[in-house]
A and B are shown apart, each in its own frame.
Chain A
Amino acid sequence: DADVTQTPRNRITKTGKRIMLECSQTKGHDRMYWYRQDPGLGLRLIYYSFDVKDINKGEISDGYSVSRQAQAKFSLSLESAIPNQTALYFCATSYGTGNFYEQYFGPGTRLTVT
């Protein structure tokens, strides 16, 4: 959806470099998520945030950190990138009341760590 944007769309970086992936949304949603997709492994949750002051670790948070700069912005950082962090990264958003709301995904960032 154009309502959820991710930058950059593609990135190649070297081992040990710090990299930030950014997500912005115009949907007015409170909840934002970062997922990682690897072939055959589905979508795995890295971090999620239910409002600006709320940050939670997901299933695979090691090696990652996040920042929720505003309701509309949620950034994912790799402090020291390693090759096994090569993957497709998706940001997603959803409404904040109740648990049963659909998630809207951004177009993804394809990250390659060499």
Chain B
Amino acid sequence: GQQVMQIPQYQHVQEGEDFTTYCNSSTTLSNIQWYKQRPGGHPVFLIQLVKSGEVKKQKRLTFQFGEAKKNSSLHITATQTTDVGTYFCAGTYSGYSTLTFGKGTMLLVSP
């Protein structure tokens, strides 16, 4: 079946450092969504990318969708302690109506 691979599984950074998490699929995705889950919380939607090569920004967060629509990344510039949490990508495949989630990247930020 379809799988969305996400790396790294875990990253610990110092506040102010940058952070990137990557998602990869062997099959073309129709769209990709990103969610953030704070410790002890539930996943919260961040953004959706649909077009090939699409780049979207939300303040210090930059989201990219690859040209082949098989990979995506989330980059955080100058991390803050409020960025702590697990970031999930989730994609939809053509002909399917549900999301396939990556396993997530847990981000820890030390002050």
- Contact between chains at A107 and B42 (CB < 8 Å): yes
> Is A12 an interface residue when CB atoms closer than 8 A count as contact?
no
CB neighbors of B among A18-49 (8 A): 33, 35, 40-45, 48
A-B contact pairs, 26 of them (CB 8 A): A35-B101, A40-B103, A41-B103, A42-B6, A42-B101, A42-B102, A43-B43, A43-B88, A44-B101, A50-B97, A58-B98, A90-B42, A90-B43, A99-B30, A99-B31, A99-B96, A99-B97, A100-B31, A102-B33, A102-B48, A103-B33, A103-B43, A103-B99, A104-B45, A105-B43, A108-B42
Residues of A within 8 A of B28 (CB): none
> Is B109 an interface residue when CB atoms closer than 8 A count as contact?
no
Interface size on A, residues (CB 8 A): 23
Interface string of B1-40 (1 = CB under 8 A from A): 1000010010000000000000000000011010000000
- Contact between chains at A43 and B101 (CB < 8 Å): yes
Minimum distance in angstroms from A82 CB to a CB of chain B: 23
> Is B84 an interface residue when CB atoms closer than 8 A count as contact?
no
Q: Sort A-B residue pairs by CB-CB distance and give the 10 closest, nearest first.
A: A42-B103, A102-B45, A105-B42, A43-B101, A42-B101, A105-B43, A100-B31, A42-B104, A99-B97, A108-B42
| CB closest chain-B residue, reference A88 | B42
Residues of B within 8 A of A90 (CB): 42-43
Range, interface on chain B: 20 to 34
> Is B61 an interface residue when CB atoms closer than 8 A count as contact?
no
CB neighbors of A among B26-79 (8 A): 30-31, 33, 41-45, 48, 50
Interface string of A87-112 (1 = CB under 8 A from B): 00010100000011011111110000
A43, A48, A99, A106: which contacts B92 (Cβ < 8 A)?
A99
